[in-house]
C-alpha cells in the first residue's frame, strides 16, 4: 500500500513536469478525453445530483423545518449541502465511477495488449501522450461538472419546496443571502483537485494492470475504491481547513 502511494506521488510529479515542459503533443487527445468524459458523465450526474439533493437535504431538512414553520431557511441549508458538500461529492463519485473506470479499463487494456511497451519502443512517452491529457481533461471537466451539480442540486431544492407547497421567495432570499463567493470557489477548486486525484489513481492502476483477463477487471475494481476513499478523505480535510479558517462562512444571515 505504501509502495503504491509512493508510486502514485511519483506519477503525479512526472505528469505535472511533463505537462509543463514542452513539446505539447497532447492537445488533440485532451479535447477528445474532455468530450469523452463529458458524454459519459452528464446523464448519471444529472440524475444523481437531483435524486440525492431531493432526498437528503431536500425532504429530510424540509420535514424538520416545516415543524418549525421555517421552510424558507431551506435556501440557506442548501448552501451548506448542495454547494459545499454534495455538489463536489457527487461529482467526484460520478467522475470516479464513470470516467475513472473507463480510463482504467482503457489503459489497462492497452497495458495487457503491450501497446504501452510498443509506444515506448516507438519513442512516444506514455505519460506525456496518455496520462497528461487525461489528467488535465479530468481536472477541467470535474470542476465544470461541479457547477452543473450545484445547479441541479438547487433545482432539487426548489422541487422539495414545491412539494411542501411553499412559495419560492423565501428559498431564494435565504439562498442568495447565505451564498458566498468563497463557498463557490472552494467547491470548484476542490473538484479540480478531485479530478487530479481520480486521474492519477485511475491512470496508475490502468498502467500497472497485469495478469490477463482477470487483471483489467481487478485493476478497475482497485482503482475506483482507492479513488473514492482518497477523494472523500481529501474532501474532509479540505472542508475542515476551509471552515476553520473562514469564520465569515459561519455568520448568521
Partner 1 sequence: MIGWLDVPRNWLDSFGEIVRFGAQVAGQVYSGRVFKFFGESLRQAGILIFGSALIIWAFVFIIGLQCGLQGAYFNRSVGAPSLAGLFSAYCGLREALPYAFGYILSAKVGTGIVAEIGAMRISDEIDALEVMGIQPVTFLAATRLLGAWIAIPFLYLVGIGIVYLAAYLAVVKQVGDVSSGGYLLIFWMYQSPPDVVFSLIKGMVMATAIVLVGCYYGYTASGGPVGVGTATAQSMVVNIILVHIIGMLGTIVFWGSNPRAPIGG
* Residue 23 DSSP one-character state: P
| Residue 249 interacting with partner 1 (CB under 8 A) | yes
- The distance between the two most distant Cα atoms of the chain, rounded to a whole number of Å, is 70
Q: Which residues in the 28-47 window bind partner 1 by CB under 8 A?
A: 32, 35-36, 39-40, 42-44, 47
Q: Which residues in the 118-177 window bind partner 1 by CB under 8 A?
A: none
Burial category of 53 from C-beta neighbours within 10 Å (exposed 0-12, middle 13-18, buried 19 and up)? buried
Q: Which residues in the 61-90 window bind partner 1 by CB under 8 A?
A: 61, 63-64, 66-68, 73, 76-77, 80-81, 84-85, 90
| Residue 113 interacting with partner 1 (CB under 8 A) | yes
Radius of gyration, alpha carbons of the chain: 20
Determine the size of the site formed for partner 1 (CB under 8 A). Answer: 70
User: Cα angle at 198 between 21 and 152, to 5 degrees?
Assistant: 115
Among 5, 120, 177, 221, binds partner 1 (CB under 8 A): 221
**What is the rounded CA–CA span in Å between residue 115 and residue 199?**
20
* Residue 21 DSSP one-character state: S
Phi and psi angles of residue 23, each rounded to the nearest 5 degrees, phi first: -75, 170
Binding site for partner 1 (CB under 8 A): 32, 35-36, 39-40, 42-44, 47-48, 51-52, 54-56, 59-61, 63-64, 66-68, 73, 76-77, 80-81, 84-85, 90, 93-94, 97-98, 101-102, 104-106, 108-109, 112-113, 178, 212-221, 224-225, 228-229, 232-233, 235-236, 239-240, 243, 249-252
Amino acid at each position: 500500500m505504501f509502495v503504491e502511494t509512493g508510486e502514485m506521488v511519483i506519477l503525479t510529479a512526472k505528469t505535472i513536469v511533463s505537462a509543463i515542459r514542452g513539446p505539447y503533443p497532447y492537445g488533440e487527445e485532451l479535447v477528445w478525453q474532455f468530450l469523452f468524459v463529458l458524454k459519459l458523465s452528464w446523464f448519471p450526474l444529472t440524475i444523481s445530483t437531483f435524486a440525492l439533493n431531493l432526498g437528503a437535504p431536500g425532504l429530510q431538512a424540509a420535514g424538520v423545518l416545516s415543524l418549525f414553520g421555517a421552510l424558507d431557511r431551506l435556501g440557506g441549508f442548501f448552501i451548506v449541502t448542495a454547494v459545499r458538500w454534495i455538489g463536489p461529492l457527487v461529482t467526484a463519485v460520478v467522475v470516479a465511477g464513470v470516467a475513472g473506470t473507463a480510463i482504467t479499463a482503457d489503459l489497462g487494456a492497452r497495458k495487457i495488449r503491450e501497446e504501452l511497451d510498443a509506444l515506448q519502443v516507438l519513442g512516444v512517452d506514455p505519460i506525456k501522450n496518455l496520462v497528461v491529457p487525461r489528467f488535465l481533461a479530468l481536472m477541467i471537466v470535474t470542476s465544470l461538472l461541479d457547477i452543473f451539480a450545484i445547479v441541479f442540486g438547487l433545482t432539487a431544492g426548489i422541487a422539495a419546496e414545491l412539494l411542501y407547497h411553499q412559495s419560492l421567495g423565501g428559498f431564494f432570499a435565504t439562498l442568495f443571502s447565505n451564498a458566498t463567493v468563497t463557498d463557490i470557489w472552494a467547491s470548484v477548486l476542490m473538484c479540480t483537485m478531485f479530478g487530479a486525484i481520480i486521474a492519477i489513481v485511475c491512470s496508475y492502476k490502468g498502467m500497472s494492470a497485469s495478469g490477463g483477463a482477470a487483471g483489467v477487471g481487478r485493476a478497475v475494481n482497485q482503482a475506483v475504491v482507492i479513488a473514492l476513499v482518497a477523494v472523500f478523505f481529501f474532501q474532509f480535510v479540505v472542508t475542515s481547513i476551509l471552515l476553520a479558517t473562514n469564520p465569515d462562512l459561519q455568520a448568521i444571515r
